Amino acid sequence: MINPKAKLSKKIFSKEIDMIPTRNGYGEGLVIAGEKNENVVVLCADLTDSTRSNYFKEKFPDRFIEIGVAEQLLATVAAGMANYGKIPFISSYAAFSPGRNWEQIRTTIAINDVPVKIGGAHAGISVGPDGATHQQLEDIAIMRAMPNIIVVAPADSVETKKATIEAAENGKPTYIRFAREETPVFTTEDTPFKIGRAETLWESKDPQVAIMGCGPLVYEALMAAKRLERVKIGCIVINGHTVDPIDEQTIIRAAKLAGAVVTVEEHQINGGFGSAVAEVLSRNYPVPMEYVGMPNSFGESGTPDELLEKYGMKSKHIVSAVKRVLKRKA
């Protein structure tokens, strides 16, 4: 059942649930962060509207810096500004930032330890018709491998807003990934959120499996838990929005209670959130695991729904993964 402490939306399993892209939460968060601290600046690489950086630009035109189609410049100019004392958010598509400017992020932001915030829009396969070049599915892997940078993949627009506001205040290099498509808004302003702490959203009395996810697919995990409840399979559902540093305690607790884990992410299975969970569990409490995510493949053009279906990242695929992992339980 839904964990009442998670204060999730009352409309969570209703058809009336609000559908808003996570990128809108980024744009709203930028404005609030900008109101709270005049040192917040936003830099964008010629994608101002689609990254929702325009919300900030309209409010604070003097603190918005257009960089042009140059993601390496985006990262390095921001590194200089952060070194001075500003709090720069850099906005582009995740395919280009951190896709194209990874070394600049490593050297001038992470080793340099300056608080640049990287906003990676259009992450995941759900970018849709743009095709493989624009569907960033490796960013969690390349960013979580890098020391000294926080990696957050919020689950809905409200959470993305909270992550953006908190990132402005944490004093650290931070990567926030978000998506293009409208996805269910299932958390609320009252849902607990803190970077670095995973939230338990669903917990059955006798859980047989823990489903852990990050990003908008956490909603699919909750849908799967609801379907599994009907066939008397108890679940724990964890929202692991912060991939690095990962919340080991919450993950280990859930694995101990459930004895099996399925991870869910709109990212390559190789090196992603599931790998991060596996690294925690293999050292602390090994249990059978299955992974829902991109199966070591690039994407293609199609509608988001068709792509999530084809590459196996919907609630029914999570249910299948649960059934597979349960068979492996001793």
Partner 1 sequence: MEFEELRKKANLIRKDLIKMLLEAGSGHSAGPLGMADIFTALYFDILNHDPKNPAWEERDRLFLSNGHIVPIRYVTMAHAGYFPKAKLKTLRKLGSDLQGHPERVRMPALETTSGPLGSGLAQASGYAYAARMDNKRFRVFCICSDGEHDAGNHWEAVLFAAKNRLSNLTVFVDRNNIQIDGHTEDIMPLEPLEDKYKAFNWHTLHINGHNMEEIIDAVNHARAVYEKPTVIIAHTIPGKGVDFMENMPEWHGKPPDTAQAKEALHELRTLGGKIVGEHE
Chain residues binding partner 1 by CB under 8 A are 41, 62-63, 65, 67-68, 70, 72-73, 76-81, 83-86, 88, 103-104, 107-108, 111-113
Residue 19: both structure tokens together: 């559908």
The C-alpha angle 104, 109, 263, rounded to 5 degrees, equals 90
User: Which helix (DSSP H) or strand (DSSP E) does residue 218 occupy?
Assistant: helix 217-230
Residue closer to partner 1 by CB (options 30, 79) is 79
Residue closer to partner 1 by CB (options 76, 208) is 76
Residue closer to partner 1 by CB (options 63, 253) is 63
Interatomic CA distance for residues 320 and 325, integer angstroms: 9
Query: Shortest distance, CB of residue 57 to partner 1, whole angstroms?
Result: 15
Query: Shortest distance, CB of residue 260 to partner 1, whole angstroms?
Result: 42
Do 235 and 322 meet the contact criterion of CB atoms below 8 Å apart? yes
> Active-site positions?
71
Interatomic CA distance for residues 68 and 57, integer angstroms: 15
Interatomic CA distance for residues 215 and 322, integer angstroms: 19
Residue closer to partner 1 by CB (options 103, 279) is 103
Closest by Cα among 97, 92, 94, 100 to 50: 92
Quick one: three-class SS letters along 79-99?
HHHHHHCCEEEEEEECCCCCC
Residue closer to partner 1 by CB (options 43, 211) is 43
Query: Shortest distance, CB of residue 171 to partner 1, whole angstroms?
Result: 14
Query: Shortest distance, CB of residue 145 to partner 1, whole angstroms?
Result: 17
In sequence order, the 6+-apart residues with CB closer than 8 A to the CB of 212 are 198, 221, 237, 238, 240, 251, 254, 261, 262, 263, 264, 273, 277
Query: Shortest distance, CB of residue 138 to partner 1, whole angstroms?
Result: 21
